[in-house]
Every structure is written in C-alpha cells, then in structure tokens.
Amino acid sequence: MTAVQALDYPFESDPSYAVRVGNLQTRLINECVATQGIPVPIVGDLPLENASVAVSPSRLWLVPGDDYGVSAALYDPKVLAQLRSTPEPQEAEGTAAEDEAYYQAVYGPEDERIDFPIGDDGTASVPVGGCFGQATETMYGVDAATYERTYYEIPSMREIMRTLTADDDVRASMSSWSSCMKDSGYRADQPDDLYGVMNDWIAGVVEGVTPVGVVAEAERELASADLACRTESGFGTAVSTRFLELAEAEIAAKEGVVQEYRTMVEHAQSLLVDG
C-alpha cells in the first residue's frame, strides 16, 4: 500500500533501517566523545537479523496476506542463530566521574535541548547539542534542531492508527472480526493481539521445541482465518478505506515537510551505504 510506505517512510520498505541508523548514530557519538579524551563504553552493533522477524503494525492491520513473514524469517539460519545467542553481560568499566563526563559530552548542556509536546500532557526533551547533536547533523545533513523539528512535524503512523482505531465504523467491524476469529479458535480483540500468538511461535522455535515447519503451517492457518474474518465482517474494507482517507489527507497537508524529511533520510541512507 503506497500510503503506508509514504507515511511510515523508510521503515515500511526497509525494516532494518532503524537498526542500521541506530548503529551509525552510536558509532558517531562515541567517535565524537573519544576525540575529547573521554573513555567510551565498548558496545557492538545491534544485529540486523532481529528486524526481519518483527511484524509491522501495517502488515497486521492493513495488508495481510498468505502469511506474516514470521516463518520465512525463522527459516534463515542467521536469524535463528542470532535469536538463540545469549548477549554477553556488559560490565561497568568507568568511574562515576567518567560516566558523568561521558553523559555531558553526549547530551551537551541543558540549554541545548528542544521540547516537544507529546500525548495529552507529556513533553519530550531532545538534545540538539553535544555529540548527540553533532551525530544528528552528520547523519541528516542539516543542523540538529532543524532535523528534530522536521521529524516532529511529519505525519505519524502512530497518530493515524490511534485515530483509525477510534473510528466508529472501524470499531464496529473490528468487533465482528474478533467474534469471527474466536469462532476460528483465536482470541483476539484487535489485530495487535496476534503478536502474542507470533511471540509464542518464535519462543518455541528459539527454545528448540517447535519446528519452523510447524510454525509455517500455523501461520498459514492464522492468516487464512484472519483474511476470511476480515471479509465476512467488513473489517478489511473499513480499516483500509478509513486509513487511506486519514493518511492521504495528512500527507497532502504536510507535503513540504514530508519531502524535507525524505531528503534528510536519503542523506543518512547514503552514509549507511558508504559505511
């Protein structure tokens, strides 16, 4: 669905982007701190394989198919090996003074932050100074404050989904979908509840008690029931229609800021390719 890719750019089309850009950010921050003669913690890159197992909300809510991609990921030996690996415990190496120096170098002074309202009464305070801000500027090709303000202004998949799930028509059809799913042997009040089923599959494979082939069959059966119940209840049509209305209106209203954000992300992606 084009609207999903536009709204959740670039995560929908590149599930590993968040992990890769997070690894890049950590490296840039620690390189910056090290130039100041401050000890940095020894941290390895987060593994990319875990991202392939995660099912995106859009796939659960909007674009279900013959499966959800879980067993396909688990068939990959690299993914399974990573899921089964036990991370080595990280022992604190620095003194309290070194830890404080590291924190100050990373986040900079308190007056180099931008506050954004979140939720009903919350506030997010984002650093735009220190090595954090410097890493942001390197990754996105603009000053940190510009990036953070742009990121705050872009249409949010989370907000669209919150509005979507509060819609009366969507809620009514979702209730019918839930009843149908329960008749099919699955207890789910909403699509997000299917994450519990999938997590059980993954745990069984990781622990060696469930073959991936068994998960693949169970996944096909769940996807089949899901699709049939969406059709019978009208939930599939209701949720996709309302999502498109909300998403397209939001994207059109913020076309300029969306394009600015895409340009910044493309700059970061060029560093990921080069690195």
- The model's pTM is 0.82
Domain that holds residue 10: 2-85+95-107+155-253
Is 59 within the bounds of a domain? yes
How many structural domains does the chain have? 1
Q: What is the mean pLDDT of the chain?
A: 90
Is 263 within the bounds of a domain? no
CA dihedral 1, 150, 22, 191 (to 10 degrees): -40
At residue 148, the pLDDT reads 97
At residue 97, the pLDDT reads 86
Is 74 within the bounds of a domain? yes
Residue at 194: amino acid letter: L
Is 64 within the bounds of a domain? yes
**pLDDT tens digits for range 41-91:** 888 888 877 677 888 888 899 877 899 999 999 999 999 998 998 666 555
Is 132 within the bounds of a domain? no
Cβ distance 39 to 98 under 8 Å? yes
